[in-house]
Structure 1
Amino acid sequence: MSDSVSGDSVSRDAGALDLPVAECLDSILAAAAESIPVVLKAPPGAGKTTLVPLALLQRNIVNDGEILLIQPRRLAARSAAARLAHLDHSKLGSRIGYHVRFDRCTSPQSKLIAMTTGMLLRRLNDDPLLENVGCVILDEFHERSLEIDSALGMLHRIRTTLRPELKLIVMSATLATEPIVQFLGDAVSIQSEGRAYPVEVIHSPHLSKQHVDVQVIETLPEALRQTRGHVLIFLPGVGEIRRTRRMIESAQSEGIAIGSDYVLHELYGDMAAAAQDAVLAPSSKRKIILSTNVAETSVTIPGVTAVIDSGLARVMRFNPAVGLPVLRLEPISQAAAEQRAGRAGRTEAGVCFRLWPLAAHRSRRLHDSPEIERADFSTAALMLAGWGERDALDFPWITPPSEETVDQAKQLLVSLGAIDQRGALSPVGDRMLKLPLHPRIARFLVAADDLNIVPEAALVAALLSERNPFRSSGPSLSLLDQVEKLNGYLMGDSRVDVDRGAVKQIQRVASQIQRIMGQSKAALGNHIDSTAVRQCLLAAYPDRVARRRAADSDRGVMVGGRGVQLAGAARASDSASPCEFFVCVDVDDRGSEASVRVAAPIEFEWLDASMIRTVDEPFYDTARRAVIARRRQYFRDLLLKESPIECQPSPEVAAVLAEAVGGDVETLLRDHGESALALLRRVRFLHTWVPELEIPKLDDAAVQNVLHQLCQSCTSLAQLQRSPWLDHFRGLFDYPQQQQIDRQAPQRITVPSGNSIKIEYVEGKPPAMHVKLQELFGWTDTPRIAGGKVPLQLHLLGPNRRPQQITDDLNSFWKTTYSVVRKELRQRYPKHYWPEDPLSAKATHNGLKPRD
């Protein structure tokens, strides 16, 4: 068969042409031929995954270029390729092939290749322009994984800058097309309504506390009774699939009426290709298919007429405890539930049993959020660095990440040595980029590869990312103890009490990691190189290094300043010979101190020397009222050790001393430096009462500026108090301004007794003078300042130096109040001078009657 065939060549398969998307093919192909991006919305089963790429290939719309059909899962990529090759009457791997992780079926003649999004991203890293590719089809875009968002952004940039002829088709089952069209700018939106039969949805009457597998067994007989076709059961994961299968297989012996005329299948992403193909193959018997959400939209299983939906899925979330993404069990959205129910109505009317009540359904979120809003961004950030993108916020995202998310990812990659502060990829980062794993695990394995301990590292990585396989009874096990015991179990030690299902999953993950590292599955032998493993953990968690507070303490401080406490297995990890330093691998950060569940002791000598710095740091000692200095050594911001050194004046010392004083300069000057404090208050008084003088205000900023200048030559408060504050303050004014200050706001005033009395200026209060009453004899009026605008508040003192009267109207006091005060004071102090007429009497400074 030639690569180019007539326009009717798609009609070779009547079943294919009978699919709803066939009605839209002409519009899709016309736009693609003009290199106009197409956004196609069509429900599952409408034929978009089958007809669109096949039509592009058979009508040679891409002029002999490759067509890449991008699928979110390996199962979908393989099954799509097999279906397309069958319709094309070609051998799988010739004109049509697939490429998924650990499995590739293509040839130099392949023109249509179904691949996972991860494989597309890796190809973009190796071939940023997709030189031989004519068209990229992003299928199942509604899933909005971070990978597919990244791919769309990169493809959009390629099209709009270097390859405008590159054809792009985005296909979605449920997502609104308008945002995608607006993002692409010049795209056309096409919608296929699809074809579906009615599906009766039956909700559970109440929320059940039973396990999902029990609920499925209780519902399955009714699903088999009501319909004639296959039964598709949605479960959240492989563990639930296995448990449900065991219950179904033993159901007859327990008297549950489900019959035996059926074939039981499992369907999930990591299963063998042959087993997946068996699910999709025709069968004379009814099928009961236990599936994860891969059957939601990624594959269409013909003949399903009943769906049992657990309403649960495992969703990738970032787990700050271990600094890695993990799968969490969560309720699905309403939109996902509708997709699952629709699987029962592809060939005839069907029924969907939802294992949750209608009221609970209405409270579920309407749609799934894009993964970029909830996932760890560091994997995407590393990929962008591999593409030469220095700033992730400048990348064309259909849903941009938050600035905080990007910054956290960048700081992690910098700490791992994957990129530099400018965002450029390092040689270590380039090696990490070749591993389709989270950057922490990738860094761990790069270090393991350097130390030749990949088998041990693969097992550790699997233990960190999967469920703990050890039973809860018995003492806590450290991470290294777990590796040793698990290795012993794998080598035949039956005394180790483990969950076999969890162990199998860990083995699968460890084997996958070894394949990723280009190594065949290898046994660990009897000895684990624990020293090398701990060194690799340090490489993966340099931001989690902690130092013990004391030699015998289980408390410490982690990089970043967080207090931590070793607990359980972490405490057991170094109980025999506690190390001063340890790496916190699994951290519960909810309490006042973070609880470290998994830790690994490390040696000081292992710390990256380039991240260790020695600095001389000044500190304020409140007891000494002085700045002291210490020489400190840090790993990142974690204090390693310190020693005292002599403190000398410097800009750093000045800053610490100024911070100790803070904004309370007046208290400092009150203790020492009254003239300077008086000038400060006098100037502020004039600024308030005589603003027309235009004397600059000694505001807080000006005072702080003087403080910082004087601190440059001091190391203590005592030195600072003795500094020339008055000279610095007066230096802020020219000579005429100084004269105005002295004239309008004098510091002292001479009273009739001949004494010079200080005027007190306090902000928010009138200027005041404390003076003995007898020193004012002969004055008729209150003295005024500020050009006569402000009378002084006179505190008239008795012989005991206590105020007998406070007034700002001396004339009124003499006339109305003096006689009363005189009478009382004459009785108490008869030796003192109390004339009847204070205006004609001679003032005296000591209060006694003056001698003639």
Structure 2
Amino acid sequence: MNRPTTDDLPVMQCVPEILAALQAGKSVVLKAPPGAGKTTGIPPVLLNHAIAGEGKILLIQPRRLAARSAAARLASLVGTKLGDDVGYHVRFDKKVSHQTRLIAMTTGMLLRRLHDDPLLEDVGCVLLDEFHERSLEVDLALGMLQRIRTTLRPELRLMVMSATLDPQPIADFLGDAVSVVSEGRTYPVDVRYSQPPAKARVSDQVAGVLPDALKSSRGHLLVFLPGVGEIRSTARLIGQRRLDRDATVMELYGDLSPADQDAVLRDRPDGGAVERKIILATNVAETSITIPGVTTVVDSGLARVMRFDRQVGLPKLMLEPISQASADQRSGRAGRTQPGVCIRLWPAAANVARRAADTPEISRGDLSGAMLTLAAWGERDVLAFPWITPPPIESVELARRYLQRVGAVDDDGKVTSMGNQMAALPLHPRLSRFMIEAAELSEVDDAAIAAALLTERDPFRGSSTAGMPSSGGSLVTACDVTDRVERMKQFRDGDASAVANVAAAKQVLRVADQIRRVTPVRSGAKHGGAPETRLQRSLLAAYPDRVARRRKAGDPSGVMVGGRGVKLDRGSSCRSGELFLCIDVDANGTEATVRAASTIDESWLDDELIREIDEPFYYPSMKSVVARRRRYFDDLLLAESPIPCQPNAETAQILMRHALADLESVFPRKDKAVGAFIDRVRFLTAQMPELELPALDDEGVQEVLQQLCQTRTSIAQLQSAPWLDHLKGRYDWSQLQLIDQHAPTKLKVPSGNSMVIHYAADRSPWMEVRIQELFGCAETPRIAGGRVLLQLHLLGPNYRPQQITEDLQNFWRETYQHVRKELRRRYPKHHWPEDPTTATATTRGLKPK
């Protein structure tokens, strides 16, 4: 049989330009649509032209399935056995040898290789395929490769390949890159839209259009679904409605075994007489891999995307509409070899509302793994690293805090011994820390199963006793993870009833075995305690940011580190104990649901994360600042007890804040002495600014309030404080003298009495005085250095106003005689002289004898 060739691939027209750029030491950014042949056409050419010199060529793929598929196809094209000249390396699986020159590997394995060999000394060329997916790992890999090329290895060749992204921004980032665009070769695809019934399940929508889809062409049918659950329900419905009479239903998703994945990709199902396939797939079939014979695509328009809840640091897999770019990628699968049909399960009008492209994962993902990788690589300042898209600062700080909590980095961001151990394991930092602690406690076997349960599809989903032991078991512990581990061991021993999904359980055991093999044995392992206790302590080492405290004894609700409210799932075994770990959390809603938890003992907590502080706070019912001695784990309150509250800067700040909120009741503005002093100062500040008196406005009053708060702890103490003394304390002796001189509280009148002067913000100063006490006074009295006339409220013998004036001379001259006539009639015994300006003032007002 003739060996397949790549000569007819559209991308081959770009080969001369690509080779010229790489041979000149430049990077290349290639944009080639699906079907152009970039994944299978370019690597053999680079191999044949020795672009990597004596080094290897690494073809980086975003998924395990794509890497294995590409390697198999490339080995066939090169004419070699898989594992000889061409091989692959994915998580827990590889086929390479000492003679392998071209390796297809996942991005995670490239990062692992960079950890072990920071300069990639045996690599001559790296191809980053499907870059448009913009995973966090590929962004990290691009930055690390760029750092290597611009510092110590300028001869390292780099090529970035994408189906949809504009190549120019990537080329600009790389600096020396050449942009190459392949037109590709695709056949026309008839895109049809449908209007599914409102609230119809995805499986019902697919089954509804399947008869027409099967009639549209004689090729294979590829159905894009968001997850394994939808794949299974759709497969059941197809069988129930007998829609698979002329086709074989096959499933394709990332967790499928390699053998089952390969069966889907082959031209015929193994052992089947029917050639036609209905392939139910997740988005693993969207890029990279080629499924021969597909001419019809049914697209649900949905995908599950990992999002990151920064408030609690929990990743969440969320169901979302795909972008227009992803929809185009999916429809293109129908036009690889001949004209095809794509049926989209949404109306045409809704297509424009979809976002144009996917958001880079770095903008929404958990950065702890990337930051640990960089720290172990020697990069302390994550924000100075060459990111093509800088990460959000909040995400950086959240990840940095977690890595510090688990002892992976120090306060300066330098990797620790623990951090290096964690980075050496092909696991998320949280699970790496978990396995290292489990190894220290000689609990690797159960911990490996637990780690696999936390990372793989839930084998208990759908079970009415999820989180609890099977009916045949007797163990009911205070740890849901321990319970699930025991059920998995029952399944491993032959009890299939211990799980709800046998296929998922088998995958968990496979991954557990892989994790167990990569976890180093600890020669000085610590022993002690029951196995379930050791597992719980190992979980605590990995989840210090998920410690929670019950709101009250026996209450399923609690508060987690960070302040988020949580509530234990009804099926949780974690029924007692004040503290528990939130292992598996659904962060939707105001109160996160804890699907898996573990009771912990306070004595297990890391002493370095426990602090005891005397903490003042405001007690509203007492209107007072009180103090508690509080013990915290991180920011989670563990215990508190009352202690005497002594005034200090912190209590002053608290009291000040609450006093300002109720200033009207605190500040004795209505106190006559206090109010008069404030009015006098404000009057004088306005009339004689040259005196440069400190203002006694609202800000000035608040400054006095702040002084009073320094030595007090309650609103009542503020209300009874000597406000006038403190207000006057803002002025020195000479300034107080000026205030008394130019804004006196009283004025001596001709009768010898001193009359009170009244001040107010919205009117002129005034003085109330009986007319007879002003006899002999020809001019209106003045204050403020003679600038302001006092307003005189002239009173009769009965102290009732007769006239208000600021011109006493005019009053004597024009008005007094009229007033005198009336007053003589009413008070004939009183003295009412003809000329008041020359008469003698009297306090009694009677005629002289």
Q: 1:110 to 1:595 in 2, by over 3 A?
A: closer
Q: 1:154 to 1:204 in 2, by over 3 A?
A: same
Q: 1:708 to 1:806 in 2, by over 3 A?
A: same
Partner Cα separation in structure 1 for residue 506 and residue 683 of structure 2: 81
1:236 and 2:226 are equivalent in the alignment: yes
Cα drift, residue 194 of structure 1: 0.6
Contact kept in structure 2, 1:267 and 1:276, CA below 8 Å: yes
Aligned residue runs from structure 1 range 299-314, under 5 A: 299-314=289-304
Aligned residue runs from structure 1 range 449-460, under 5 A: 449-460=439-450
Note the aligned Cα RMSD (angstroms).
4.2
Cα drift, residue 331 of structure 1: 2.3
Contact kept in structure 2, 1:201 and 1:351, CA below 8 Å: yes
Q: 1:648 to 1:216 in 2, by over 3 A?
A: closer
Q: 1:680 to 1:494 in 2, by over 3 A?
A: farther
**One of 259, 277, 283 as aligned partner of 1:274:** 259
Cα drift, residue 832 of structure 1: 8.7
Partner Cα separation in structure 2 for residue 454 and residue 709 of structure 1: 61
Contact kept in structure 1, 2:797 and 2:845, CA below 8 Å: no
Aligned residue runs from structure 1 range 727-746, under 5 A: 728-731=729-732, 735=734, 740-746=738-744
Aligned residue runs from structure 1 range 190-201, under 5 A: 190-201=180-191
Contact kept in structure 2, 1:40 and 1:172, CA below 8 Å: yes
Partner Cα separation in structure 2 for residue 411 and residue 433 of structure 1: 17
Q: 1:491 to 1:706 in 2, by over 3 A?
A: same
In the alignment of these two chains, the number of paired residues is 821
Identity score, percent? 55
Aligned residue runs from structure 1 range 177-216, under 5 A: 177-207=167-197, 209-216=199-206
Contact kept in structure 2, 1:462 and 1:507, CA below 8 Å: no
Cα drift, residue 87 of structure 1: 1.9
Q: 1:358 to 1:426 in 2, by over 3 A?
A: same
Partner Cα separation in structure 2 for residue 495 and residue 511 of structure 1: 17
Partner Cα separation in structure 2 for residue 441 and residue 831 of structure 1: 106
Q: 1:447 to 1:474 in 2, by over 3 A?
A: closer
Equivalent in the alignment of 1:447: 437
Partner Cα separation in structure 2 for residue 185 and residue 499 of structure 1: 54
TM-score, with structure 1 as normaliser: 0.84
Equivalent in the alignment of 1:568: 570
Cα drift, residue 128 of structure 1: 2.2
Cα drift, residue 377 of structure 1: 2.7
Amino acid at match of 2:217: T
**One of 330, 345, 360 as aligned partner of 2:335:** 345
Q: Which runs of 5+ in 2 are unaligned?
A: 469-476, 520-528
Cα drift, residue 838 of structure 1: 6.1
Cα drift, residue 544 of structure 1: 3.7
Q: 1:745 to 1:24 in 2, by over 3 A?
A: same
Partner Cα separation in structure 1 for residue 431 and residue 277 of structure 2: 39
Partner Cα separation in structure 1 for residue 747 and residue 606 of structure 2: 70
1:610 and 2:612 are equivalent in the alignment: no
Cα drift, residue 41 of structure 1: 0.3
Q: 1:259 to 1:144 in 2, by over 3 A?
A: same
Equivalent in the alignment of 2:638: 640
Equivalent in the alignment of 2:285: 295
Equivalent in the alignment of 2:504: 505
Amino acid at match of 2:612: T
Contact kept in structure 2, 1:37 and 1:184, CA below 8 Å: yes
Partner Cα separation in structure 1 for residue 547 and residue 62 of structure 2: 36
Partner Cα separation in structure 2 for residue 118 and residue 800 of structure 1: 100
Equivalent in the alignment of 2:473: none
Aligned residue runs from structure 1 range 51-90, under 5 A: 51-90=41-80
Q: 1:826 to 1:63 in 2, by over 3 A?
A: farther
Amino acid at match of 2:69: S
Partner Cα separation in structure 2 for residue 222 and residue 694 of structure 1: 91
Q: 1:83 to 1:787 in 2, by over 3 A?
A: same
Equivalent in the alignment of 1:469: 460
Q: 1:531 to 1:14 in 2, by over 3 A?
A: closer
Q: 1:710 to 1:266 in 2, by over 3 A?
A: closer
- Structure 1 SS opposite 2:5: helix
- Residue range with higher mean Cα deviation, 434-443 or 175-184: 434-443
Contact kept in structure 2, 1:459 and 1:507, CA below 8 Å: no
Equivalent in the alignment of 1:538: 540
- Structure 1 SS opposite 2:685: helix
Equivalent in the alignment of 1:385: 375
Q: 1:511 to 1:302 in 2, by over 3 A?
A: closer
1:515 and 2:517 are equivalent in the alignment: no
Equivalent in the alignment of 1:9: none
Equivalent in the alignment of 1:143: 133
Q: 1:592 to 1:505 in 2, by over 3 A?
A: closer
- Structure 1 SS opposite 2:6: helix
Equivalent in the alignment of 1:95: 85
Equivalent in the alignment of 1:721: 722
Cα drift, residue 423 of structure 1: 2.1
The CA deviation string for residues 623-680 of structure 1, in whole angstroms up to 9 with x for no partner, is 7776554433222233333344445554445544555554988976747998787665
Partner Cα separation in structure 1 for residue 227 and residue 638 of structure 2: 45
Equivalent in the alignment of 1:631: 629
- Structure 2 SS opposite 1:397: coil
Q: 1:573 to 1:681 in 2, by over 3 A?
A: same
Q: 1:808 to 1:430 in 2, by over 3 A?
A: farther
Equivalent in the alignment of 2:782: 784
Contact kept in structure 2, 1:673 and 1:725, CA below 8 Å: no
Cα drift, residue 39 of structure 1: 0.6
- Residue range with higher mean Cα deviation, 175-184 or 411-420: 411-420
Q: 1:786 to 1:498 in 2, by over 3 A?
A: farther
Cα drift, residue 192 of structure 1: 0.4
Cα drift, residue 138 of structure 1: 0.5
